[in-house]
A and B are shown apart, each in its own frame.
Chain A
Amino acid sequence: MQKSFDTPKIVTIEKIIEETPTVRTLFFSDETLSKVLPGQFAMVWIPGINEIPMSVMISQEKGKAAFTVRRHGLATSELFSKKVGDQIGIRGPYGNSFTIKQGKLLLVGGGTGLVPLLRLMTFLKKSDDVTIIMGAKTQVEVFFEGLANKLLEGITHQVIVVTEDGSYGEKGLVTDVMEKLFKSNRFDSIYTCGPEKMMYKVVQIASENKSYVEASIERMMKCGIGICGSCCFGDVMACKDGTVFDGQSLVANKEFGHTHRNKSGMIENY
């Protein structure tokens, strides 16, 4: 791994894919970010607006990387509305990554939380048996289904899409499907990324079934490099000790699934 650069480096957006009406993937050239490990993130500077942590999306092109952004707050809306030719700053990669295990693997993700799980797919072995459960509220918000199937070509796999309203795929929550799967399967390792309430349930189900599980968590982040303390999560820092933690440490962390901190550092409930 190349040394990370803590000063923003300016890159130009070269291509944009509209994933859903509120989600876009922005592609740019950067050798370092093209090679990051699954779960690692970059700090993305939207000049004049803000700088936010983003999981690094795969590009399928050599020397290129991407960010998949959902229009939500000010910074993500500004990033979402960037055009080809616009400039953004990047620094990183930061954080640890998912532990790549072999065997029967289960990936559970929702929304842009799918980004590190798709990158994880590019590290799997032909001998693995992979199931991914992808969650969305409704059909129009489903994305990455085709890409997941493509990335898993040649590997025994199953892509299960779940929508809360049942407009596409199975109806319900990803964790409902996960519970059903556990009735007749056991998994060597489970990886999850998405809304914390979802991950909390995933870790709970995995722990009850004595399966190894890792989750990539999200917290209010400012520096991304273990200085400011904004992303503290129990006695660990999401940016430097994480963002990936194993089930055992998550179960022991009283903040997991319950609280996070705001910009001033006050604890708020999820």
Chain B
Amino acid sequence: MSPDISTSVGPIALERPTMLASGILGISLDVFGRLYKEGAGALVTKSLSKEPWDGYPNPTVIGMGNGYLNAVGLSNPGAPYFAKMLSPNQTVPIIVSLVGSIPEDFIFMVKQFENVKILGYELNLSCPHVEKVGLEVGDDPELVRNIIRSVKKESKLPIIAKVGLGSSDYLKTVSAACESGIDGITAINTLRAMAIDVETGRPILSHKIGGLSGSPIKPVAVRCVYEISSKFDIPIIGCGGISRWEDAIEFLLAGASAIQIGSAVGEKWTGVFSEINNGISKYMERKNFTKIKEMVGIAKKF
């Protein structure tokens, strides 16, 4: 019998464990449909704000030879516009990522999606390059509690919190999220980083400081997934530097039930989802696993 690569993150059931990470390509229903057809198990949208945001001037994304540095500035057409754009959706498994500063921001945005077919929400508590949102919210456990409780009151859909490494202990954010009824945790976001051009002496990104993604951050992300899964009884989505099936398996073994792919889309383009799905399937066959959940957290036994 060929292995079953379907999985679930709490109440969210996925046909395949590979999701598109937030911020990558996610601004159109046509593109989500294409990536789903090409193998992604779910698509996380760009983080949406109440109002449309243009983002920062370029350069906003640059390669580092290995990995990427970005400060796009959360450009997005705003939650109301996006909800309307997604409204024809019937079959594509979409998770809407939201970014805001206060509970009211999130309540307003969730209301927009009341009649739109989506799997749930991912709250971006960890963008490292926009002030007053993202990591600044994630670093305040009390605010995290209030936001999650407000969203929970407003919607019955599953809610995931995406955490990253800010200036406070990220495990306190995870703890606050778990206490407030979160359905899952995505770990991790990009890591605060910068690059300076030596010829001109200038920081390359227009925002100067951005977030590092791709394979250089993978060991940090694996450590975080391992720590969260060791300390909390909460479903986890692993994210950070996954570009090969071996990377995906590593996250599952660390305790993730599904994984997100971002930078590797830039490196390998849209075929990366099916490539990793096939690799996972072959690995399961070789190791006699019949379901993803049999692998989740195995590394913690040792």
Contact = CB atoms under 8 A, between A and B. Distances in A.
Interface string B7-33: 000000000000000011111101101
Interface of A is mostly: loop
Interface string A31-63: 000000000000101011111100000000000
A71 interface: no
A263 B55 contact: yes
Interface string B251-282: 00000000000110110010000000000000
Contacts of A195: none
A65 to B, nearest CB: 18
B75 A265 contact: yes
Contacts of A261: 27
B88 interface: no
Interface stretch (B65-73, B98-106, B137-145, B233-241): B65-73
A87 B200 contact: yes
Contact of B72 (A8, A50, A222, A234): A222
A234 B34 CA distance: 10
A105 B259 CA distance: 49
B40 to A, nearest CB: 13
A266 interface: yes
B52 interface: yes
A266 B75 contact: no
Nearest to B49: A264
B81 interface: yes
Contacts of A263: 54-55, 75
Contacts of B34: 235-236
B57 A50 contact: yes
A22 B262 CA distance: 40
Contact of B62 (A7, A49, A234, A236): A7
B27 A230 contact: yes
Interface in A76-117: 87, 89, 91
A225 B75 contact: no
B49 to A, nearest CB: 10
B195 interface: yes
Interface in A1-39: 5-8, 10
A150 B199 CA distance: 37
B81 A229 contact: no
B204 interface: yes
A265 B76 contact: yes
A264 B25 contact: no
Nearest to A253: B30
B58 interface: yes
A7 B204 contact: yes
B216 interface: no
Given A6-B68, A45-B59, A264-B54, A230 B75 contact: yes
Contact of B64 (A7, A47, A223, A229): A7
A7 B68 CA distance: 9
Contacts of B54: 262-264
Interface string A222-261: 1111111110101111001000000000000000000001
Given A8-B204, A265-B76, A229 B27 contact: yes
A232 B25 contact: yes
Given A47-B202, A227-B70, A264-B55, 12 more contacts: A43-B58, A45-B204, A49-B57, A50-B58, A89-B200, A222-B61, A225-B61, A227-B25, A227-B266, A229-B24, A235-B28, A236-B34
15 contacts: A49-B57, A51-B59, A222-B75, A225-B266, A226-B266, A227-B68, A227-B263, A227-B266, A228-B61, A229-B46, A230-B27, A234-B30, A235-B28, A235-B30, A266-B78
Interface of B: 23-28, 30-31, 33-34, 46, 52-55, 57-65, 68, 70, 72, 75-78, 81, 195, 197, 199-200, 202, 204, 206, 262-263, 265-266, 269
